[in-house]
Amino acid sequence: MKAKIFTLAAMTLCLAACSQKETDHRFSNVIYFSGSSSVADIRVAETDAALSRQFSIQMALPESKDVKVRVDVDPSALETYRAAHADAAAQLLPEANYSLSTLEVELAGGFVTSSPVTVSFTGANALPDLKTHYVLPLRISSADVDVLGSGSIFYYVLSKASLVNVVADLTDNRAWPYFDDQPTFKDMTTFTMEALVNATTFKRTGSDGNKIEHPLATVMGIEDRFLIRVGDTLIPENQIQIAVAQKDGEGSVKRAHISNAAMQIKAGRWYHIAVSFDNGKMVVYLNGVKVGEGDASEIGVTSVDFSTVHSEEDDGKPRCFWVGYSYDKWRYWNGRICECRIWNRVLSESEINAPKHFYQVDPSSDGLVAYWKFDEGEGSVIKDHSPLGNDLTSQLPPSWYPVSLPEE
C-alpha cells in the first residue's frame, strides 16, 4: 500500500514538473535577428549602383505551429545607433535607396530559422556624402512569440568604400593556383609581379622552440626558379630579396639575387612590392621607388617558367608556384597580404606609380594574367579577377581583416 502511495506521489510530482516545463518553454521562447552582431557594415564603391544583403530570423526553440514575424524600418532607432556608436552625424538611409523582399516572415512549425529576407540597395553610390554613415534600422515584432530585447533590432550601415577594405592573413598558411602547363605562364620572357604586404613579424622559431637564426618569409613565386621573399642566410630578416636560380644539365644550380639595404621593410606597415623582368633584366620597386636592379641573364636566365604542375613537391616532383610559402613550413609569410598580380609584360615606373595602382587595377588591363585581390572575407578560395580565372586555393581558411587602404 505504501509503495502504491509513493508511486502515485512520484507520478503527481512528475506531471507537475512536466506541466511546469511546458509552461517555462512557452514563456521562455524568443525570436531575434540571426548572427553574432547587430550591425552590418556595407562599404559602397563608386561602381556599386546596386547591392544586396540577406538576413534571417532565428527562434530559440521550435514551435509546433507557424510563427509569424513582422519586419519594419524603425527611424526612431537612429538615435539609439548614434548614441551606441558615438556617431552623431549618422543619417537615415533614404527610402529611395532600399527595398525589402518581404515584411512578413514566417518560421514554419518545427523550425527555428526563417527563409532569408533580401534587402536591396540601389543608387547608394550616388548619395550626397558617403563619408557620412547612412543607417537602415530594422526592427522585428511578433504576436506569437516574445522578441529578445537585444536581438530585436538590426542596423545596415552604408559608408564609402576604401580602395581595399578586406585583406587576408596567411600566417602559417599558404595558397596556390593551378597553372599546370598553361602556355601563358610557360617560359615568360617579360613579366611583372606585384603584391601589397604587411608583415606581422620577421622572427621565427623552429619545432624545438628555438629561434631560427636566418629566417625566410615568402611572398610568392617558385623556389629555385624565381621568388620574391624576405630574409636569408646573409640577408637581414626584414630585407626583401628577389632570388633567381637555374639548374644546368648536370644538376648543379646557378643563383642570382637582388637585395640591398634600400629594400628593408618594417613590421606592421603596408608596402607595395613590384618586380619587372625583361629577358633577364630585373627592376625592383618598393612603394613605387626603384630600389634595385639585376640581370639574371648573367646566369643564363632569360625566361621563367611558372607553369609547373601543382603538387606537394614531394617524391622528387618539381617546385611549383605558391603564394605565402616556399620549400618548407618555416618559410611561410607571417602577416597580411592582398593585391597580388602577375602581368605578361613589363610595367613602366609611371604605370606602377599611377593613381590608385597600388590598391586596385582594372581586371581587363592589357597584359594582366593573374589578379588575386584577397578580399573575399570568408572561405578558402581567392578569386582570380583576371580574364584567365586561375583562382587560388588556401590550405586553411585565411584570417580575414577589415582595413581602409590607402590609409588616411
Q: Which residue has the higher pLDDT, 48 or 156?
A: 156
Q: What is the pLDDT of residues 108-149, one digit of tens each?
A: 999 999 999 999 999 988 888 777 899 999 999 999 999 999
Amino acid in the structure at residue 186: K
The burial class, CB within 10 Å (0-12 / 13-18 / 19+), for 235 is buried
Q: Are residues 121 and 204 in the same domain?
A: no
* Bridge pairing between strands 104-107 and 289-295: unpaired
Residues β-bridged to residue 159: 43
Residues β-bridged to residue 107: 67
Candidates 276, 292, 288; CA nearest to 346 is: 276
Q: What is the pLDDT of residues 53-73, one digit of tens each?
A: 999 999 999 999 999 999 999
pLDDT of the residue at 27: 53
Task: Please check whether residue 97 is in contact with residue 104, taking contact to mean a CB–CB distance below 8 angstroms.
Answer: no
Question: Mean pLDDT over residues 90-99, rounded?
Answer: 96
- Predicted confidence band at 22 (pLDDT cuts at 50, 70, 90)? very low
Task: Please check whether residue 402 is in contact with residue 378, taking contact to mean a CB–CB distance below 8 angstroms.
Answer: no
Domain boundary (108, 135, 161) is at 161
Extract the C-alpha cell encoding 317: 616532383
> What does R_g of the chain's alpha carbons equal in angstroms?
29
The chain-wide mean pLDDT, for the chain, equals 91
pLDDT of the residue at 40: 92
Q: Which residue has the higher pLDDT, 173 or 162?
A: 173
Residue 224 to residues 178, 229, 297, 328: CA-CA distances in angstroms?
19, 12, 15, 13
The residue behind cell 637555374 is 246
Euclidean distance between CA atoms 341 and 369, whole angstroms: 8
Using the predicted structure, report yes or no on whether residue 15 has a pLDDT greater than 60.
no
Q: Are residues 81 and 195 in the same domain?
A: no
Q: Which residue has the higher pLDDT, 8 or 282?
A: 282
Q: Are residues 248 and 127 in the same domain?
A: no
Q: Which residue has the higher pLDDT, 18 or 67?
A: 67
Domain boundary (106, 131, 161) is at 161
Instruction: Give 159-162's long-range contacts (Cβ < 8 A, gap of 24+).
Output: 159/41, 159/42, 159/43, 159/44, 159/130, 159/131, 159/132, 159/133, 159/134, 160/43, 160/44, 160/130, 160/131, 161/43, 161/44, 161/45, 161/48, 162/43, 162/359, 162/403, 162/404, 162/405, 162/406
Amino acid in the structure at residue 1: M
Phi, psi values for residue 187, rounded to 5°: 50, 60
Asked whether residue 367 is assigned to any structural domain, the reply reads: yes
Non-local (6+) Cβ contacts of 255 within 8 A are 243, 244, 245, 299
CATH number of the domain within which 113 lies: 2.60.40.1740
Domain boundary (161, 187, 202) is at 161
Extract the C-alpha cell encoding 358: 597600388
Phi, psi values for residue 308, rounded to 5°: -55, 135
Boundaries of domain holding 51: 29-161
pLDDT of the residue at 155: 97
CA angle 225, 227, 228 (to 5 degrees): 165
Extract the C-alpha cell encoding 156: 545596415
pLDDT of the residue at 247: 85
CA atoms within a 13 Å half-sphere pointing along the CA-CB vector of 231: 22
Proportion of the chain in helix, strand, coil states, percent, rounded to 5: 15, 40, 45
pTM of the model: 0.75
- Predicted confidence band at 89 (pLDDT cuts at 50, 70, 90)? very high
Segment among 1-5, 67-71, 168-172, 180-184 with least mean pLDDT: 1-5
Asked whether residue 236 is assigned to any structural domain, the reply reads: yes
Element at 70 (helix H, strand E): strand 67-73
pLDDT of the residue at 4: 40
pLDDT of the residue at 251: 74
CATH number of the domain within which 243 lies: 2.60.120.200
Using the predicted structure, report yes or no on whether residue 204 has a pLDDT greater than 90.
no
Q: Are residues 47 and 77 in the same domain?
A: yes
pLDDT of the residue at 28: 80
Q: Which residue has the higher pLDDT, 10 or 296?
A: 296
Q: Are residues 96 and 173 in the same domain?
A: no
- Predicted confidence band at 85 (pLDDT cuts at 50, 70, 90)? very high
Task: Please check whether residue 182 is in contact with residue 386, taking contact to mean a CB–CB distance below 8 angstroms.
Answer: no
Q: What is the pLDDT of residues 218-231, one digit of tens each?
A: 999 999 999 999 99
Q: Are residues 220 and 207 in the same domain?
A: yes
Question: Mean pLDDT over residues 152-173, rounded?
Answer: 94
Candidates 402, 395, 333; CA nearest to 195 is: 333
Q: Which residue has the higher pLDDT, 132 or 327?
A: 327
Q: What is the pLDDT of residues 234-283, one digit of tens each?
A: 999 999 999 999 987 677 899 999 999 999 999 999 999 999 999 999 99
